[in-house]
Amino acid sequence: MPTALRTPRTASLSPSRRRTPEVTATNPLNTPFTTVDAAELYQVPNWSGGWFRVSEKGAVEVTPSPGLHAPLRSIVDEIVERGESLPVILRFPQVITGRVKHLNESFQAAIQEYGYGGHYQGVFPIKVNQRRVVVESVAAAGYDYAHGLEAGSKAELALCLAQKMHPDALLCCNGFKDDGFIKLALWGRTLGKNVVITIEKYSELDRILKQAKALGVRPAMGVRFKLHARGSGQWEESGGDQAKFGLNAYELLRVVERLREEDMLDTLVMLHTHIGSQITDIRRVKVAVREATQTYAGLVAAGAQLKYLNVGGGLGVDYDGSKTTFYASMNYTVKEYAADIVYTVQEVCKARSVPDPVIVSESGRALTAHHAVLIMPVVDVTGPTRDLEDLAPADENSHQIVKDMEEILVNITGRNYRESYNDAVGDKQTLHNLFDLGYVTLPDRARGEALFNAILRKIAKLIQHEKYVPDELEDLQKVLADKYICNFSLFQSLPDNWAIQALFPIVPLDRLNEKPTRQATIVDITCDSDGKIEKFIDLRDVKATLPLHEPGDRPYYLGAFLMGAYQDVLGSAHNLFGKVSEAHVTVRPGGRFNIDLFVRGQKARRMIESMGYEEPMLRDAIEDQADAALKTKTLAPGQEQELLEDYGEELLGYTYLEYEES
Ligand SMILES: *Cc1c(COP(=O)(O)O)cnc(C)c1O
């Protein structure tokens, strides 16, 4: 067991965290709310990995390296001042650089610490984020470490081949391959790139040998092995005997035999394994690496001349900052990950008297998640009716049910709240039934519903410090929560939240020296009722609501963090909300920053055309209708031009809400 690089873990390692009742107040003693409280409330130090912090002024700052910091709010303000519209994604290439360094230096430190005989050479699997700024930042930051790239399709390979890479850096070709893919990979070797073709299924070997002969290029190959070990968390199924990719032990030995017959044993250079993404439990990593290294040693014993042991991806990101094996977390650090891999490989190689291989990892998520932040402006707040005073009070004409509810409200105590709750739920049901039958008027219904909400609020207040909360009251916060309507599309910008319940830390960009007074859920501007966020990070579990400030005169912005892996390139055009504008930002000394590049989001026209329509066709159709409308006089003479101009302007406009900021 490597212990030297360990830091003590505080959180529990139990695989699923116990549900504990919601406690709303982080600051029960009514001491002034400080930025320290805010950092704790939103758990910024826990999930940010040091790349973001809450400043003394109560603003979220990006902190790409010691001494460099810039408030996100200032960056957004500058974007708005330039006349650009929100939402926007802020990208920080410096954070990618920092992550690449951190990963490589963690492995280097472990290698030095244990006196490991080989070195580390990572590859970045570009499927995690193929964006130019991401791939180029990884390639540039990784150059001196000979950190390479991994392609999983022809298109990805075409992109990777064009990158400037260290001559030793690996370019791994994973995924199922046709002849075109293989040829492109072989041409890559003639260009002086260290391209390694991974055999994902046995039949690919013949294909590769045939193409290599035809082109007269000596290939370098890896072989993917189906470990019986599995990952943990959401992608557990990626490993194990039923995995989609990889060869079994028998097929592995056949590859060696076949290459021996061809006198090409030296072309098999890598053993490749991958047990899935976001491995939450470090023990799974160790078990898998042990099995992989035993397999490596077995292949060497069979005569293969391997050089690289590729342990695949899986290095996690602690989205909720809980340091547990919960699916949105991980119970280890990057340093511990590197140390445990180096230690395990060394231990097995020593026992099997096999030279220490070059360790390759295909870490993707861990390199790119931190660099991107989605900025969502809050455009409106809706919620359960709060102010009974705004409604007509119950009088002798009010229905008895309304009077009953009023009585419940007045009489709630710490002793009877459960009974009161059940009565109120029953009364509300009756209220609605009576309304349907015509016995309750619309004003009575309004008052009854407001009374119901008031009852729930009163109960929520009574139980907020209780240790034990009855099951039926656990959802109270969610029912009472305000809906913060944010100018973004969940399906375009945070699709993993919708598709696989991924959690992303969400934090207001400023006012963090002010106590948030509201409990909120977030809804997007699509017409889809799934377009909402009702799960938020929590140290013990998942929270149903997010504490937020009452929006004031100044625009109120929320940041969704750690969104730069996978889902960053999966966005879908639901409701024709298109790609979001992006700002690439470099932080400079003295709290200053440069917006190096601003890329406007997709225009409505682009979204419409992507569905097979053509712009001239649309314009003609509108013009024809306008002509007809002139004739029937529904359109006033002289208005046609204005209508067509407005229409044309929207075609060229941003697909998100564009409010003039006053
Ligand atoms: C997706 C993928 C990765 C990336 O895994 P992360 O968990 O993002 O590091 C690595 N290797 C293979 C084969 C993959 O398919």
Q: What is the pLDDT of residues 40-71, one digit of tens each?
A: 999 999 999 999 999 999 999 999 999 999 99
Q: Which of 138, 149, 201, 274 to mutate to test the pocket of ligand 1 (most atoms within 8 A of CB)?
A: 274
Our measurement of the distance from residue 368's CA atom to the centroid of its chain's CA atoms, rounded to an integer in Å, reads: 10
What's the chain's average pLDDT? 91
- Closest atom of ligand 1 relative to the 277 alpha carbon: 7
- Closest atom of ligand 1 relative to the 224 alpha carbon: 13
Q: What percent of the chain has pLDDT over 90?
A: 83
Tell me, in angstroms, the distance from the centre of ligand 1 to residue 314's CA.
6
Q: Which residues participate in the annotated binding site for substrate?
A: 309-319
Q: Which residues pair with 227 in a beta bridge?
A: none
> Phi and psi for 64 in degrees, rounded to 5?
-70, -25
- Closest atom of ligand 1 relative to the 238 alpha carbon: 15
Residue 557 contacts by C-beta under 8 Å, 6 or more apart in sequence?
A: 73, 76, 86, 375, 376, 377, 378, 508, 509, 510
Tell me, in angstroms, the distance from the centre of ligand 1 to residue 583's CA.
27
Q: Give the pLDDT score at 571.
A: 87
- Beta strands in 298-439, from DSSP E residues, in sequence order: 308-310, 358-360, 372-382
**Residues 60, 509: contact at Cβ < 8 Å?**
yes
Tell me, in angstroms, the distance from the centre of ligand 1 to residue 608's CA.
34
Q: How far is CA 476 from CA 22, 209, 472, 635, in A?
A: 9, 64, 8, 51
Q: Whose CA is nearest to atom 2 of ligand 1?
A: 313
Tell me, in angstroms, the distance from the centre of ligand 1 to residue 367's CA.
11
Give residue 298's pLDDT band: very low, low, confident or very high (50, 70, 90). very high
Give the residue numbers annotated as catalytic, written as ranges. 527
- Closest atom of ligand 1 relative to the 363 alpha carbon: 9
Q: Whose CA is nearest to atom 10 of ligand 1?
A: 313
Burial level of 414, CB count in 10 A (0-12/13-18/19+)? Answer: exposed
Per-residue pLDDT tens digits for 352-410? 999 999 999 999 999 999 999 999 999 999 988 767 777 777 788 899 999 999 999 99
Residue 149 contacts by C-beta under 8 Å, 6 or more apart in sequence?
A: 123, 124, 125, 126, 135, 138, 139, 160, 163, 165, 169, 170, 171, 172
Q: For 391, which DSSP code?
A: S
Interhelix angle 93-114/334-351, rounded to 10 degrees, is 40
Q: Give the pLDDT score at 465.
A: 74
Region 569-579 average pLDDT: 91
Region 88-106 average pLDDT: 98
Query: Which domains does the chain possess?
Result: 93-370 (3.20.20.10), 400-477 (1.20.58.930), 613-652 (no CATH)
Of 4 and 321, more confident: 321
Region 302-311 average pLDDT: 97
Give residue 7's pLDDT band: very low, low, confident or very high (50, 70, 90). very low
Region 216-245 average pLDDT: 82
Give residue 88's pLDDT band: very low, low, confident or very high (50, 70, 90). very high
Ligand 1: residues whose CB is within 6 Å?
A: 125, 127-128, 174, 274, 277-278, 312-315, 362-366
Q: Which residues participate in the annotated binding site?
A: 309-319
Alpha helices in 282-325 (DSSP H): 282-301
Residue 314 contacts by C-beta under 8 Å, 6 or more apart in sequence?
A: 231, 235, 274, 275, 276, 277, 278, 279, 285, 363
